[in-house]
């Protein structure tokens, strides 16, 4: 029974399940039923991915934390046997130089420390008024416009995009150019050529802007990076690439959380009412953690490779074995979160793995939290009658994108 | 309870600040951890234990409690 659910392929004596598995139409928020069944059977087992290789699927919350924090577990995608996300990622390997994503300590530390200053607690807290204003302005514009509205284009996409602009130090006059190319660079509607052209235009633009900041500094990341270029710690192309990486990593993720979170709240009206009617910032903050856990939009499994043999849970991971970490498995692990299929905004959820774990844990997570606290804390209060202008069945979900979400969210009020 | 922080390991995630802002801060230039109180009082112990568990880089060590 479990074999059928997991879609196993009979491989001689062993049945090895395929990964990824499909979500159920009936519940677009839950992890794939076959993944949950597999986890219940055995939290650490091999699975077959797109190229026929069989990396370890690490599903338990505790095991994920143990291994993601282990120095023997590497993100170096150039290692033979690395379990790439897709054929496209494997084939474009040579186009990707070392970055914060694909290096281990100590190289990783160098990249990371060049980018952390704008994301520290003090600095993201100082952005609250700006984020609140951007949110309110976009809600005003949506309310003044036609019904139904698409929450994705009206609010979910522009708020994070404008915040990245603020953070990077993109001048207001260039916001439209920046947003247009950012949307294309990450868009699923764009052709690969269009995406690459947009990314290229952004890289050139950012290199020019870094140059400008050398003589006209601001209080922003591009100025920080310009200083590091001046100090010989990095080069303009490397700095521009880091900025584009931040843009892409932080853009669609927050946008998806805003839209998908709104949809999840529509399906859980008591939870929506709790969030809408509260004055307590602690409740809003807790709700954000639970939505991060419940939705786990980074849903394709974090990819790693073992540098040495590792013993865990009575098994031995061999040096050179691939590792896949489906974060939703950890976030729906009943040992870590009782009754995980319940969206309970008041449960303690800070120990979720939605931002990953280990040295690569999301760089922008403090900013993401503040953005989501403000948007979730404002939208339903300002539009108490906000509701879905279609049915759940009509919604198109980003099943095949790196970050899960919805393509559009028609809403009315 | 004595708190030790491992600066080279720290990745500036700031989770410790969210858990126990009285005990942990981040330095301005790169967000690396700053330990404010080496021996926090009993009322802070639960929050400090949270901080140690949640630190993604295992950069917080608690000694003798």
Are the beta carbons of B11 and A112 separated by less than 8 Å?
A: yes
Q: What is the mean pLDDT of chain A?
A: 92
Are the beta carbons of A117 and B28 separated by less than 8 Å?
A: yes
Looking at beta carbons, which pairs linking A221-227 to residues 24 or more positions away fall under 8 Å?
Answer: A221/A115, A221/A117, A221/A118, A221/A167, A221/A168, A221/A169, A221/A246, A222/A168, A222/A169, A222/A170, A223/A169, A224/A114, A224/A117, A224/A118, A225/A114
Q: How many domains does chain B have?
A: 1
* C-alpha distances out from residue A266 to A69, A113, A119, A356, Å: 36, 40, 31, 27
Residue at token pair 């950890």: A330
What backbone phi and psi angles, to 5 degrees, belong to A85?
A: -60, -35
Residue A277 CB burial class (10 angstroms; 0-12, 13-18, ≥19): exposed
Least confident of A167-176, A314-323, A361-370, B22-31: A167-176
Are the beta carbons of A113 and B12 separated by less than 8 Å?
A: yes
Delimit the domains of chain A by residue range.
2-412
pLDDT of A94 strictly over 90: no
Cα(A336)–Cα(A80) distance, integer angstroms? 34
Q: List CB contacts (< 8 A) between A121 and chain B.
A: 14, 17-18, 21, 25-26
CATH number of A2-412: 1.10.630.10
Least confident of A1-5, A112-116, B19-23, B32-36: A1-5
pLDDT in tens, A43-76: 999 999 999 999 999 999 999 999 999 999 999 9
DSSP at A45: E
pLDDT of A231 strictly over 60: yes
pLDDT of A383 strictly over 80: yes
pLDDT of residue A95: 79
Structural domain including B32 reads 2-63
Would you place residue A187 in the very low, low, confident or very high pLDDT band (cuts 50, 70, 90)?
A: low
ipTM over 0.90: yes
- The CATH number that applies at residue B36 is 3.30.70.20
CB A388 within 8 A of CB A266: yes
Task: Select the residue from A116, A293, A358 to test the B interface by mutation, using most B Cβ atoms within 10 A.
Answer: A116
Are the beta carbons of B56 and A112 separated by less than 8 Å?
A: no
Cα(A222)–Cα(A220) distance, integer angstroms? 6
Cα(A245)–Cα(A251) distance, integer angstroms? 10
């Amino acid at each position: 029974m479990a074999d059928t659910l997991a879609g196993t392929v009979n491989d001689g004596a062993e049945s090895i399940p395929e990964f990824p598995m499909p979500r159920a139409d009936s519940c677009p928020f839950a992890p794939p039923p076959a993944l949950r069944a597999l986890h219940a059977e055995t939290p650490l087992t091999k699975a077959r991915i797109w190229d026929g290789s069989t990396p370890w699927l690490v599903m338990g919350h505790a095991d994920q934390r143990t291994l993601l924090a282990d120095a023997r577990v590497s993100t170096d995608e150039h290692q033979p046997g690395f379990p790439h996300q897709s054929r496209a990622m494997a084939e474009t390997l040579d186009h990707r130089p070392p970055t914060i994503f694909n290096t281990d300590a100590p190289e990783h530390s160098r990249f990371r420390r060049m980018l952390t200053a704008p994301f520290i607690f003090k600095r993201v807290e100082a952005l609250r008024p700006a984020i609140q204003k951007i949110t309110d302005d976009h809600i005003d514009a949506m309310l003044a416009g036609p019904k139904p509205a698409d929450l994705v284009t009206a609010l979910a996409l522009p708020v994070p995009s404008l915040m990245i602009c603020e953070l990077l130090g993109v001048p207001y006059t260039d916001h439209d150019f920046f947003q247009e190319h950012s949307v294309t660079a990450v868009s699923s509607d764009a052709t690969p050529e269009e995406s690459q052209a947009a990314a290229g235009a952004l890289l050139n633009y950012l290199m020019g802007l870094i140059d400008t900041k050398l003589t006209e500094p601001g209080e922003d990341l591009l100025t920080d990076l310009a200083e590091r270029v001046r100090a010989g710690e990095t080069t303009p192309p490397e700095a521009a690439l880091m900025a584009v990486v931040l843009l892409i990593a932080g853009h669609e993720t927050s946008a998806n959380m805003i839209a998908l979170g709104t949809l999840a709240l529509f399906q859980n009206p008591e939870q929506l009412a709790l969030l809408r009617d509260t004055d307590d910032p602690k409740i809003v903050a807790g709700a954000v953690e639970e939505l991060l856990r419940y939705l786990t939009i980074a849903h394709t499994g974090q990819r790693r490779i073992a540098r040495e043999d590792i013993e865990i849970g009575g098994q031995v991971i061999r040096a050179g074995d691939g590792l896949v970490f489906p974060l939703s498995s950890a976030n729906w692990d009943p040992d870590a979160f009782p009754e995980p299929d319940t969206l309970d905004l008041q449960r303690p959820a800070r120990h979720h793995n939605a931002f990953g774990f280990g040295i690569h844990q999301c760089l922008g997570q403090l900013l993401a939290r503040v953005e989501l606290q403000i948007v979730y804390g404002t939208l339903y209060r300002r539009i108490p009658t906000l509701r879905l202008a279609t049915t759940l069945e009509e919604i198109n979900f980003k099943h095949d994108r790196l970050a899960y979400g919805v393509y559009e969210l028609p809403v009315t009020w | 309870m004595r708190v030790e922080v491992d600066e080279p390991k720290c990745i500036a995630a700031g989770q410790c600040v969210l858990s126990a802002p009285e005990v942990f801060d981040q330095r301005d230039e790169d967000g690396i951890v700053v330990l404010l109180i080496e021996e926090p009082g009993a009322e802070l112990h639960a929050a400090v234990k949270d901080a140690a568990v949640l630190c993604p880089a295992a950069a917080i060590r608690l000694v003798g409690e």
